[in-house]
Amino acid sequence: MRFTWKETSARRLARSHLTDSTRVDDPARICADVLGIHAQVMSAAELAIGVRAKTLTRTDIRDALWRDRTLVKTRGPRGTVHLVATADLPMWIGGLSAMPKGRSTHPQPVRMTDEQTEVVVAAIGAAVAATESELTVEELSEEVVARAGSWAGDRVMEAFQDKWPRWRQAEALAFHRGVVCFGPDRARRTTYTSPARWLPGFSPAPGVEALVRRYLWTYGPSTPRQFARWLGAPPGWAATVFDEMTDLEEVWFDGERCRVIAGDGPGSHPPPPLRLVPYFDAYLIGCHPRARLFAGAAAGRALTGGQAGNIPALLIDGRVAGVWHQRRSGRKIHVTVEPLAPLSVGQREELPVQAARIGQILDGTELTVGIVAVGAHA
């Protein structure tokens, strides 16, 4: 079976809820279908969900996370902060905890042993499970040291011109094991809590296969190497996982042997629309090959050292066709869009519609078409 770029981009956009007919006012379904929304910058996460919805605003998304708890904020692919569907938590924990544990990059005097790491993970889980309130990092640190020992609190890790306590080496692993997740900020301070408050009694799904299938449904055709890059996993391990799955089939896409779920052909999907997507958008990060998605001038303007997602993008026909930036001034959101090629009459008419949707999500907007002078997000 062969997939063309046109077929593939239309399919990916539809399954990512980026076409008019596939928009849904359901934050959990959006997060489930796109395999999580990057939430290192919460305003970008709110936009990433909002542009895939018909009428949702940032208030609806915050309610889904903190009131209804249909979303959970945790560490997902590549160890980065993500919003994922609460119902998918067993799949995520099963897949992330199945990855081989990477070798520590910390110097020997700083590094924890495997035994110490397990003690810390258990201490983190016990600390957040023992209280009904969320813990700040300082409060969690006190609890971990009390349970694990004073060595866990040694401030030996270099971090942002400061020193972090030793135990924080195991923080990402604790998230991946499902013993901790993020709670609501307390006066702009990050807090930690137990995922059991979102999904009582949950247990990890076995293995990473369910995560592979979901990834291929949304972003396939794909290779094990591309999946590994998206997840932040060793390529060799990913290749073994793909080879052992009997419900995948090999197809040709862009001159390369790729995999899809058996029987999941190109299909017929709505034509790709014009869309504005924010920092770290799931479509930008999940789709390959980069040379197709960021073709021509887009490679130099919208990629940062080959990395996707650091610059908000204008999508046309499923490709990056420009960049944009937002700036708040009072209750107004000023949106500047820089197309990388002249727009058609229809595209010029559609651009204010998409800018207005940004304003709906974030409360107020004003559009300018011109040069974006702001650099990439770190």
Q: What is the pLDDT of residues 138-179, one digit of tens each?
A: 999 999 999 999 999 999 988 777 889 999 999 999 999 999
- pLDDT, residue 378, reads 53
- pLDDT, residue 327, reads 85
The reported pTM is 0.93
Using 50, 70 and 90 to split pLDDT, how confident is the model at 137? very high
Which whole number is the average pLDDT over 16-42? 96
Is there a cis peptide before residue 221, judged by omega within 30 degrees of 0? yes
Count CB atoms within 10 A of the CB of residue 108.
Answer: 6
For the chain, domain boundaries: 275-369
Q: Report whether pLDDT(124) > 70.
A: yes
- pLDDT, residue 121, reads 97
Residue 190 vs residues 71, 130, 136, 266, 271: alpha-carbon distances, Å: 17, 18, 6, 42, 41
Amino acid, res. 316: I
Structure tokens at 209: 């296969």
Candidate from 74-88, 322-336, 355-369 with smallest mean pLDDT: 355-369
Q: What is the pLDDT of residues 168-203, one digit of tens each?
A: 999 999 999 999 999 999 988 999 999 999 999 999
The average confidence (pLDDT) of the chain is 93
Whole-number Å distance between alpha carbons of 234 and 100: 8
Q: Which of 272, 277, 282, 280 is nearest to 347 (CA)?
A: 272
Using 50, 70 and 90 to split pLDDT, how confident is the model at 373? low
Higher-pLDDT residue of 8 and 368 is: 8
Q: What is the pLDDT of residues 241-297, one digit of tens each?
A: 999 999 999 999 989 999 999 999 988 888 778 999 999 999 999 999 999 999 999
Whole-number Å distance between alpha carbons of 239 and 244: 9
Percent of the chain with pLDDT over 70: 97
Using 50, 70 and 90 to split pLDDT, how confident is the model at 367? low
Whole-number Å distance between alpha carbons of 58 and 278: 14
- pLDDT, residue 105, reads 80
- pLDDT, residue 13, reads 96
- pLDDT, residue 110, reads 86
- pLDDT, residue 103, reads 78
Q: Which residues contact 243 (CB under 8 A, 6 or more apart)?
A: none
